[in-house]
Amino acid sequence: GENVEQHPSTLSVQEGDSAVIKCTYSDSASNYFPWYKQELGKGPQLIIDIRSNVGEKKDQRIAVTLNKTAKHFSLHITETQPEDSAVYFCAASRRGGATNKLIFGTGTLLAVQP
Amino acid sequence: DARVTQTPRHKVTEMGQEVTMRCQPILGHNTVFWYRQTMMQGLELLAYFRNRAPLDDSGMPKDRFSAEMPDATLATLKIQPSEPRDSAVYFCASGFLIGGTTDTQYFGPGTRLTVL
């Protein structure tokens, strides 16, 4: 089955710096890769996603890149702000499969220091 | 602003007691997922419903856990009897599946369960 690895597990940056979180997946048939942000005491919230037919997607300060050959994808946050501090999860699934299950990475705790 | 709602938000119970968690998916969504989150295991998928029918519950301990969708607006996750190792945050998520592809999963705020 699919396995998703996420690195680093913790990341501390200064306000205004960029943050990069990387994930690798094992199932070459996976074709949907969302990123979720989870704040303390809340459920994960989707912040951006990418499908396998594109290599990059950007939404304001957030971007995701996908390398299908290497089977890895990354989240890039530019000009970080204290409110970006949260746990970030990557996930992978095979759209069109029997169950469309999301397989999550283990999470990255991002701390943005003011 | 459509949201997934979950009740209760917090539950403290004693070992052996029955626990029922409820979820109201976003109106119009036809897929419902139950997840469990712990520090050790991260986010684990417990069960998955499509059009109220259970499609995958392979992540759920069958002897004590059960998941149902009595109607399109209510999903339940029941633990009987509960054990201390069941202590975790349980999330419900919903989405809309059509034509073999699935839309985004939207998560509820979770139920924090503590079994003493």
Rounded mean pLDDT of chain A?
Answer: 92
Burial of B12 (0-12, 13-18, 19+ CB in 10 A): exposed
Mark B83-95 as b/e (b = at least 16 C-beta within 10 Å): eeebbbbbbbbbb
Distance CA A72, CA A23 (A): 6
**Who among B42, B48, B110 is closest to A101 (CB)?**
B48
* Residues of chain B with C-beta less than 8 angstroms from the C-beta of A100: 31, 97, 101-102
Please report residues of B whose CB lies closer than 8 A to that of A44: 43, 91, 107
- The one-letter amino acid code at B63 reads D
- Shortest alpha-carbon distance between residue A33 and chain B (Å): 10
What pLDDT is attached to residue A6?
Answer: 97
* B-chain residue closest to A102, CA distance: B45
Please, are residues B75 and B68 in contact by the beta-carbon 8 Å criterion?
A: yes
Please answer whether residues B111 and B10 qualify as being in contact, where contact means their C-beta atoms are separated by less than 8 angstroms.
yes
> What is the structure's pLDDT at B100?
57
Contact of B29 with B92, CB cutoff 8 Å: no
Query: What is the reported pLDDT for B102?
Result: 59
Predicted local distance difference test score (pLDDT) of residue B24: 97
Which of A33-42, A92-101, B100-109 has the highest average model confidence (pLDDT)?
Answer: A33-42
Quick check: B45 and A96 CB within 8 A?
Answer: no
Q: Match 């890039």 to its residue by tokens.
A: A76
Q: What value does the mean pLDDT take over residues A94-99?
A: 63
Residue A93 banded pLDDT, cuts 50, 70, 90: confident
Mean pLDDT check: name the lowest of A10-19, A90-99, A100-109, B68-77.
A90-99
Residue of A8, A3, A2 whose CA lies nearest to A107: A8
Interface list for chain B against chain A, based on CB atoms closer than 8 Å? 4, 31, 33, 42-43, 45, 48, 55-56, 91, 93, 97, 100-102, 104-110
**Helices and strands in chain B: count of H runs, count of E runs:** 0, 13
Residue-level pLDDT at A1: 77
Determine if residue B19 is left, alpha or beta; phi over 0 gives left, psi from -120 to 50 gives alpha, anything else beta.
Answer: beta
pLDDT tens, N- to C-terminus, chain B (116 residues): 689 999 999 999 999 999 999 999 999 998 999 999 998 888 999 998 988 888 888 888 889 999 999 999 999 999 999 999 999 999 999 988 776 565 688 999 999 999 99
Rounded to an integer, what distance in angstroms lies between the CA atom of residue A108 and that of residue A105? 9
Q: How many CB atoms lie within 10 A of CB B56?
A: 17
What pLDDT is recorded for position B67? 95
